[in-house]
Structure formats: structure tokens, C-alpha cells
Amino acid sequence: MQTRPFSASFLLVCLLCLSSQPALAKKMYKWVNENGETIFSDQVPPEHSQYRRESLNEKGRVVEVTEEAKTKEQQAVDAKLNALKKAQEKIIAQQAANDKVLLSTFRNAKDMEASLYATLQSLDAQRNVAQGNLKRVEDQLASQQKKAAELERNGKKVPQPLLDEINQTEAQIQVAYAEINKQIEKKNRAKSEFEANIERFKFLTQQNADPSKASDPAAQAKAAGEIGLYACETDALCAKAWASAHEFIKANATTPIDTDTDKLIMGRAPATDSDLSLSVSKLDDENKKHQLFLDIHCRESSLGTELCDSQKVRDIRSAFRPFIEAAVGK
């Protein structure tokens, strides 16, 4: 069926006629085509089905709205936004769970400091064991090398089994050094995490007599900053924040931006273990206000997972909100 645009007055006449003949009344549709023409018809041709349209009753009132069909590209962006929304909810839930554990496990900061001391002592003991193993294999290597040197001084050829033992011992020394470095890193990480938890505990309890009820707005704001979340107070500030989010990604990501819409800025997927791909999405909170959420992606590998769990990534995430606030002039 061929459709043609009608004027509003013509539509009114049609609707009045239809209302006087209820048995013959049909549902009317209203939409705007690609030329900006407003069309009224009792049928929607297939070639116009993708447009946003309104269903009108016999009195000309809108009774139903069918939104414009989305392209594959728009559907892909929506899928990414939904995934980021879930990631945001997961991080927020994890932050809340961590806070709950802190507040239910420790009575005060001194308890946490004592626990940190005990943890560091335990890690030092493990490192001492590793250093003892290193000293043992170094002495073993020295003995093997001395035996080989004596044979060479006496004009004798060093037997292959002894050479193999020397090579094996040298490999054991490298393993021992790696274990010591691992213990040092483990201690530094534990110290850093404990110190961050102690500061978090102090913050959560500083204005609350009952730590279990530590949920004041300041605490919530600090938690939002730690997970990379910026809440827009006005549309104007949100526009400035969105522009500065591009700069933040360019400054901190190692992969270029390959998705850039009015709701999503996303970098290309990580290609190496050292790559950091950043994305910022514009999402709505429970009050329908915009908020910008930063997410960080690493390569799906053991080293990539380690990178995403590192202090470097935590620092990038916690720097997002201050960066945006400085950019918008707050």
C-alpha cells in the first residue's frame, strides 16, 4: 500500500468521522520518514517499519509507542554497555563485600596493624627458607666447581656427569633467586594491600560509633572513586566530563580507541600481556542520572590477570574521578 503524508487538520476530520462510526474505526499510526515528513496511516508499510511510530486511538491520543529499530552497530554498542553495567555492578558489590569483611573482622585499626605485622613475619620466615635454600645450592655449586677446577689443574678432563651437575645446580640457583624475588613481591603486595585496608577501615569508621553502620555519603563517594565512577550533577558537567574521558583513556591506555559513541568509549582489545585497554561508559543510576564508569581490560592470560590485579591498575582506576573533576572545574 502506498502511503502519503496528511495534514493535522485532515487527520482531525478523519478521526472525527471514525469516532462517529465506531464499527469502522481503525487504529492510526503516526511516524516521521527520512525526509522529515510526518505520516498518518492505518497501516505501516514494511519499508517504514524501522521508524519510531505512535499508535493513535479514535480520539487521536497516543496509546502506544514503538521505538526506532536499532542497527547492528547500535545493538553491538548496547551489548557492550550492558556488559559494562554488569561489570560496574560487580565491582560495586565486591567493594561492599570487602567493606563488610573489614568491618566484621577487625575491631579497630590496631588489630589490623597487628595482623599486618604477623603476616609480614610469616612472609619473612618463608623468604628466610628460600634464602637458606639458595645458600645451600650456592655452596653445592662452589664444591662442584672446585672439583672441576682441580681436575683441570691436574690435566684431566672434567667428566660429563659433573658438568651436568654444575648446570643443574646453576639452574637451581636461578629458581632460588626467583623464589626469593617472589617472596619479596608478595610481602610488598601484602603490605600495600593491608595499608590500603587500614586506611579504608579508618575512613569507614571515622564518623560512625558503630562500624557496621558505616555507610555515610562520604564513604560512598570514596568507594565510587576507588572503582572509577563519576556521577554527573548536570548535563553540562556531564558533557565536559565525557570530553575529558577521551583524554584520560589516551593518557593511560596502551591500545587505541576503536569504539566512540555518545554512550561508550572503548579501546581495542589487549593484544599483549602488558596491554591495558580502557573503556568509559555513560550509564544511568537508579535516579536516572548519568554516571561515567571506567573499566580496565587486560589480556586473558596469567600475566594479564596479574596486571589487572596490580597496584598500577588500582591507581589508574582511583585516578579517574579526580581527573574528571579537575577537568570539569569542580
pLDDT in tens, 267-301: 888 999 999 999 888 877 666 678 888 888 899 89
pLDDT greater than 70 at residue 11: no
Quote the DSSP letter at residue 108: S
Average pLDDT over residues 249-262: 88
pLDDT greater than 70 at residue 207: no
- Asked whether the beta carbons of 267 and 278 are under 8 A apart, the reply is yes
> C-alpha cell of 265?
568509549
**Extents of the domains making up the chain:** 8-66, 106-211, 228-328
Average pLDDT over residues 218-232: 64
pLDDT greater than 80 at residue 8: no
Lowest mean pLDDT among 51-60, 83-92, 142-151, 286-295: 83-92
pLDDT greater than 80 at residue 5: no
pLDDT, position 250: 93
pLDDT confidence band for 21 (50 / 70 / 90): very low
pLDDT confidence band for 58 (50 / 70 / 90): confident
pLDDT, position 243: 92
The CA distance from 186 to 126, in Å, is: 11
pLDDT, position 329: 81
Average pLDDT over residues 30-40: 84
pLDDT, position 215: 45
The CA distance from 222 to 170, in Å, is: 50
pLDDT greater than 60 at residue 304: yes
Find, among 68, 90, 84, the residue nearest to 259 by Cα. Answer: 84
pLDDT confidence band for 177 (50 / 70 / 90): very high
- 174: buried, middle or exposed (CB in 10 Å: 19+, 13-18, 0-12)? exposed
Average pLDDT over residues 13-34: 61
pLDDT greater than 80 at residue 1: no
The CA distance from 48 to 52, in Å, is: 9
Q: What's the start-to-end Cα distance of the chain, in Å?
A: 57
Higher-scoring residue by pLDDT: 171, 261: 171
Percent of the chain exceeding pLDDT 90 equals: 31
pLDDT, position 151: 92
> C-alpha cell of 59?
480520539
pTM score, two decimals?
0.47
Q: CATH topology for 228-328?
A: TATA-Binding Protein (3.30.310)
Could you tell me the CA-to-CA distances from 17 to 5, 12, 26, 44, 247 in Å, in that order?
A: 18, 9, 11, 21, 60
pLDDT greater than 50 at residue 19: no
